Amino acid sequence: MITNGARRAGLTVAMVGALALSVTGCGSGGAGETAADGAIPVVASTDAWGSVLRAVGGDQVSVTSVIDASDGDPHSYESTARDGLTFTDAELVLYNGGGYDTFAGQLAGEASDDTPVLNAVELSGHEDSGESGDEHGHGHGGANEHVWYDIHTVETVADAVADALGKIRPAEAETFEANAEKFTKALGDIEAKLAAIGEHSPGAKVIVTEPVSHYLLAEAGLDDVTPVDFRDAIENETDVPVAAQAAVLRLVRSGDLAAVVNNPQTQTPVTEELVEAARKAGVDVVDITETLPSGESSYLGWVGGQVDALSAAVSR
């Protein structure tokens, strides 16, 4: 966990003006107003991490997730003046890191000097992905930056959140610790489901349209056979080589695949063709998203449901 201290960046004159104008426009969910009601204002870069804050903080926190659109691509998000105000008011900041949500790392500099800032990639130990990433927010230094699907990392982050909240509100420290313990125990149930997939279908082959599900697939013991040229082109948003596209379609039609794992938030004509080919070939398509679907607020419900869908597809 880090605090801003001397590294805090000053707001530009233009940003100060924009924030001042936006203060009166904040709705009842704004961090400043809910703090007046007694809840601790906390902010997450995405609702994936916001759901973890909510699980640990319970009714003692007011959670603002900057990105919570189920049909958007978090990689291309551009922060707003209101986002800056939210970070300024927050008493705890949680973001992904690893080049995935660079905007949040920058906005964290606008939080109060003593505000704890949690970087999930740093906590995970998967720091090879690097903070810089490319212009689309993908870290390409070696590790996969989608660490909210690494159950062990989520457990670590939950414990760090409980510790930080306990220091902010010592009278509720035991409550936060109990919430984190209950949450991590439920995460163990998800881990057991993933292990069961590997036991039932060890080495089952899958293709992914984008590697957001990397850690889930690895935990389940599945074999991601997506051609490297295809994966890299999709992730870098460049043209997929004709040979790579042909290789993917051959795999889909080969009868050897257990499933195609699709990220519907990064659709392109190429991935849509892949998904359609899979459905025509009778290969199950499992959607694994970057943010929670509409109507879902629980990390456990969201990830658990996707793991159930993956299990059903692979076990057919």
d(CA 304, CA 149): 11
Which tokens in the block code for residue 297?
A: 């607020």
Give the domain range for residue 148. Answer: 2-188
Task: Examine the domain organization and report whether 183 and 204 are in the same domain.
Answer: no
Q: Count of residues for the chain? A: 316
Give the confidence band of 37 by pLDDT, cuts at 50, 70, 90: confident
Q: What are residue 207's DSSP bridge partners? A: 260
Of the chain, the end-to-end C-alpha distance in Å amounts to 44
Among residues 188, 209, 227, the one where a domain terminates is 188
Task: Examine the domain organization and report whether 56 and 74 are in the same domain.
Answer: yes
pLDDT for the residue numbered 235: 81
Task: Examine the domain organization and report whether 182 and 204 are in the same domain.
Answer: no
pLDDT for the residue numbered 109: 85
d(CA 113, CA 146): 28
Q: Closest Cα partner for 204 from 212, 189, 194?
A: 194
**Percent of the chain having pLDDT more than 90?**
71
Task: Examine the domain organization and report whether 44 and 184 are in the same domain.
Answer: yes
| Contact yes or no for 118/111 (Cβ under 8 A) | no
d(CA 10, CA 118): 20
Task: Examine the domain organization and report whether 248 and 178 are in the same domain.
Answer: no
Task: Examine the domain organization and report whether 199 and 135 are in the same domain.
Answer: no
Beta strands in 32-191 (DSSP E): 40-46, 61-67, 92-95, 116-119
Distance of alpha carbon 189 from its chain centroid, rounded? Answer: 20
Among residues 140, 168, 188, the one where a domain terminates is 188
d(CA 238, CA 21): 39
Task: Examine the domain organization and report whether 153 and 9 are in the same domain.
Answer: yes
Task: Examine the domain organization and report whether 220 and 307 are in the same domain.
Answer: yes
Distance of alpha carbon 217 from its chain centroid, rounded? Answer: 15
User: How many domains is the chain partitioned into structurally?
Assistant: 2
pLDDT for the residue numbered 142: 61
pLDDT for the residue numbered 17: 37
Strand order in the sheet with 205-208: 223-224, 205-208, 257-262, 285-287
- Could you tell me which residues come within 8 angstroms of residue 304 by beta carbon, excluding any fewer than 6 positions away? 189, 190, 193
Task: Examine the domain organization and report whether 166 and 199 are in the same domain.
Answer: no
pLDDT for the residue numbered 25: 34
Task: Examine the domain organization and report whether 147 and 32 are in the same domain.
Answer: yes
Express each pLDDT in 221-245 by its tens digit.
999 999 999 988 988 889 999 999 9
Tell me if residue 224 falls in helix, strand or coil: strand
Task: Examine the domain organization and report whether 126 and 231 are in the same domain.
Answer: no
Which tokens in the block code for residue 207?
A: 């293709």
Beta strands at 2-3 and 116-119: parallel, antiparallel or unpaired: antiparallel
| Contact yes or no for 297/70 (Cβ under 8 A) | no
pLDDT for the residue numbered 133: 39
Task: Examine the domain organization and report whether 182 and 198 are in the same domain.
Answer: no
Tell me the CATH number at 178: 3.40.50.1980
What is the residue-averaged pLDDT of the chain?
85
Among residues 188, 217, 236, the one where a domain terminates is 188
Beta strands at 92-95 and 116-119: parallel, antiparallel or unpaired: parallel
pLDDT for the residue numbered 266: 85
Express each pLDDT in 256-297 by its tens digit.
999 999 999 888 899 999 999 999 999 999 999 999 998 999
Which tokens in the block code for residue 136?
A: 């689309």
Give the confidence band of 213 by pLDDT, cuts at 50, 70, 90: very high
